[in-house]
Amino acid sequence: MAALKFVRSVWDSFRSSSGLEPRLLDGLRVVSATPGKVRFELDIRKEHTNRLKILHGGTIASMVDLGGSLAVASRGLFATGVSTDLNVTYLSSGGKIGDKIRAEVTCDKFGKTLAYTSIRFMNGNDEVFARGSHTKYVALAWKDPNNVTEQMKPEQENLTK
């Protein structure tokens, strides 16, 4: 199964089962995925903004959380674990209603117990306006019968076999 198709299926599961993501991030679009890397985009709407009418820091933090989960999914885990640490650095305003933002998230280390991810957010001018990291406890996620970890190894791992 292709990484993009699998990651989108995990995103669909979040949207159908979670309380937060379908309300806040339903318009988020996963545009590409390879093992260990995911790109997504979001058109900023009113519900994503603060009282200054710019992208809310809480929306960005939620996308760090979701992005980390999708990066873990890109390595084949359907149950993407639970958060142990989340960090966001806000560099500038992300934009206003009607702007499109993009994110690139990477699964930097993927182990039996923990997965470490990092993410960069870009505005319409390709300027990084925020970055984050997310650590996930994945030990129990390895037991999910929907996992496809053997099919989602990064290219360099596949070449050595």
Residue 155 confidence (pLDDT): 63
Residue 1 confidence (pLDDT): 52
Confidence (pTM): 0.93
What average pLDDT does this structure show over 110-138?
A: 97
pLDDT exceeds cutoff 70 at 88: yes
| Full set of structural domains in the chain with CATH | 3-159 (3.10.129.10)
Alpha carbons 4 and 7: distance in angstroms, whole number? 5
pLDDT exceeds cutoff 50 at 158: no
pLDDT exceeds cutoff 90 at 153: no
Taking all residues of the chain, what is their mean pLDDT, rounded to a whole number? 94
Q: What letter would DSSP give residue 38?
A: E
Share of the chain above pLDDT 90, in %: 89
pLDDT exceeds cutoff 70 at 94: yes
